[in-house]
Homo-oligomer: A and B are copies of this chain.
Amino acid sequence: MYRSRIRVTLRPSILDPQGKAVGHAIQALGVTAVRSVRMGKFIELMVDGTTEDEARAATEEVCRRLLANPVMEDFTYELEKM
Binding site for B on A (CB under 8 A): 1, 5, 7-9, 19, 22, 25-26, 29, 31-49, 54-55, 58, 61-62, 65-67
Determine whether the beta carbon of B26 is less than 8 Å from that of A62: yes
Q: Which residue of B8, B9, B39, B55 is within 8 Å of A33 (Cβ)?
A: B55
4 closest A-B pairs by CB: A40-B42, A42-B42, A33-B58, A35-B46
Shortest beta-carbon distance, A76 to chain B, in Å?
Answer: 10
Give CA–CA (A66, B26) in the complex, Å: 8
Contact of A43 among B39, B49, B62 (CB under 8 A): B39
Tell whether, in the assembled complex, residue B38 and residue A41 are in contact, meaning their CB atoms are under 8 Å apart.
no
